[in-house]
Chain A
Amino acid sequence: AQSVTQPDIHITVSEGASLELRCNYSYGATPYLFWYVQSPGQGLQLLLKYFSGDTLVQGIKGFEAEFKRSQSSFNLRKPSVHWSDAAEYFCAVGATGGSYIPTFGRGTSLIVHP
């Protein structure tokens, strides 16, 4: 069965600092990989998606993520964080192996200090 691990429950950064949120997945082949963001009181919004091709994926709001097969990782990065980036971030593995059920990580809460 596939699984997703987001090892950091909370991350605190200063505005303008760089950001990296970690995501590790467990699946035998290359899965569909996603990062979603949830602002307070809102639904989830897709930041970016990877399935094949270039392992560095560009998303919305200045985010990018890098797929590393050898490490089973799909970490999310942003070079300079804005206060409006404070939110909950979810990594997800898409439906695989005949299943139609995606798997979400537990989420990482990003706190941005002025």
Chain B
Amino acid sequence: EAQVTQNPRYLITVTGKKLTVTCSQNMNHEYMSWYRQDPGLGLRQIYYSMNVEVTDKGDVPEGYKVSRKEKRNFPLILESPSPNQTSLYFCASSPRTANEKLFFGSGTQLSVL
């Protein structure tokens, strides 16, 4: 089944403790991206990747890192999480660009205490 898989679904952590949210797609998509969803703000893009080893900032990249060492994986790294990063996070992929259908993961609810 074609899908984007995020893990974990729920994560509670404390300020400053490094964490990684994984994202994997099995559709051989070139374009992958991360979003955060906050009430009243919709989805805002954090980072995107056009292909392996090619990543770039979205609208709200501060406090986040990403890497794209393999085509299928696009992990989101929070090296020193802070409470303002408490949010619902989504990974998405598409065949080539953001102007095609985006396939979304089921989301990761992160709480930073």
Q: A interface vs B, CB < 8 Å?
A: 4, 9, 32, 36, 41-46, 49, 51, 90, 94-95, 100-102, 104-107
Pick from B4, B44, B106: contact of A41, CB under 8 Å: B106
Tell me the smallest distance from the CB of A34 to a CB of chain B, in Å. Answer: 8
Chain B residue nearest in CB terms to A94: B99
B67 in contact (CB, < 8 A): no
Q: List 21 A-B contacts (CB under 8 A).
A: A36-B102, A42-B106, A42-B107, A43-B90, A43-B107, A44-B92, A45-B104, A46-B101, A46-B102, A90-B42, A94-B98, A100-B48, A100-B50, A100-B56, A100-B97, A101-B48, A101-B98, A102-B98, A102-B99, A104-B42, A107-B42
Pick from B40, B43, B97, B107: contact of A95, CB under 8 Å: B97
Q: What is the size category of the interface that chain B forms with chain A?
A: 20 to 34
**From DSSP, what is the main secondary structure of chain A's interface residues?**
loop
Tell me the smallest distance from the CB of B71 to a CB of chain A, in Å. Answer: 17
**Contacts A43-B106, A94-B98 supplied; 17 other A-B pairs, CB < 8 Å:** A36-B102, A41-B106, A41-B107, A43-B92, A43-B104, A43-B107, A44-B90, A44-B92, A44-B104, A45-B104, A90-B42, A95-B97, A100-B56, A101-B45, A102-B99, A106-B41, A107-B42
